[in-house]
Structure formats: C-alpha cells, structure tokens
Amino acid sequence: MSILINVSIKLQQLTLVGNTKVIKSYPVSTALKGIGQKKNSFQTPIGLHYIRAKIGKGLPALSIFEGRRPTGEIWSKDNAALEPNDDWILSRIMWLSGKELGINRLGNSDTMQRYIYIHGTHDESNLGKPLSHGCIRMSNDDVIELFDLVSAGTIVHINEE
C-alpha cells in the first residue's frame, strides 16, 4: 500500500492517505507565525517532505523529549506551571526532511536542520488553531496512532490549502 501524509495549513488537519483513499484525518496545530521556509522563522515549511526518523517507539504517552531524546519524565500540569511558554515535545517524534532543493532542503531553508517534527503536544485543547513554533502538533493518542501506521521515508506534503 502506498501511504502518504497530507497536512493542510488552512484546515489545520493532517490526513493519512493510502492508495489515494483517506485512511484517517486528525486535527493539528501548525505555526502561529504562518508558513515559511527560513531558519529561525518559527513558521511551518510547505512543500514535499519525508519522515527522516521516527523517535520514541514504545515509550509511554506524554513522555518528554529534549533534543530528540526522551528525558525519562512524563509530562504533567506541574511541568506546565514551571515552563508555561514551552513548546513541549511529547509522546512521539516524526522528524521531517525536505525533498525540494532550495525550497525546503539545504541552505537557509532546510526543514531537517530546522528540527521540524510531527509530535505530541501538551496543548491538545487548542488543536485546530495555528499555535506551534513551526512543528506540526498532534494529540498524544493521535501521534502515537499515526507513528504506528507510517514508516521512515513516508512522504509528507504540507500545503496551504
């Protein structure tokens, strides 16, 4: 089965497609600052990408990651009180890499070097609204489900529509 992921910025929705049929759709949160390709822009990059690496297999939901490594801690509201403005990376990481030279690959617009992920969030109540720092946030249950359905190399198309 040919599987791909489509992310709609306009709809704030991630759709998993297999053999041209929708398998499942999930609400997401993309960047508060909109779309953009440049490093340090805190924007979500558009175009064709692929999942470069999957990180966190088998870890408990709400596992906290720092620098793509699990800290061994499980997120709680106490964490939010200590770091209220943190963009927590939780449960699973699907690290994206751009496929389009000069658009989202290499140079000042490299998606991988920008550390753009699909990941779980502590702010599940605001999914459907653009609020991330550039990544694609999902609910923790949804990101775990998606993680188990896709493989490294899966194509991810992020588009404005």
What pTM value is reported for the model?
Answer: 0.94
Residue 3 falls inside a structural domain: no
Domain presence at residue 97: yes
Q: Is residue 157 part of a domain?
A: no
9 inside domain: no
Range of the domain at 55: 28-149
Q: Residue 82: give its domain's CATH number.
A: 2.40.440
- 155 located within any domain: no
Residue 130's nearest CA partner among 25, 26, 31 is 31
Complete DSSP assignment for 4-72: EEEEETTTTEEEEEETTEEEEEEE-B-BTT-B--STTS--BPPEEEEEEEEE-TTPPTTEEEETTEEEE
Tens digit of pLDDT for each residue in 25-54?
A: 999 999 999 999 999 999 999 999 999 999
Does 47 fall in a domain? Answer: yes
Domains contained in the chain, number: 1
- Note whether residue 41 is domain-resident: yes
CA neighbor of 27 nearest in space, from 157, 114, 151, 140: 140
Amino acid code (one letter) for 72: G
The answer to whether position 144 is within a domain reads yes
User: What's the rounded Cα separation, in Å, for the pair 100 and 157?
Assistant: 11
- pLDDT tens digits, 50-70: 999 999 999 999 999 999 999
Among residues 24, 30, 38, the alpha carbon closest in space to that of 10 is found at: 30
Say how far apart CA 37 and CA 79 lie, in whole Å.
31
Question: Which segment of 68-72, 81-85, 102-106, 127-131 scores lowest on mean pLDDT?
Answer: 81-85
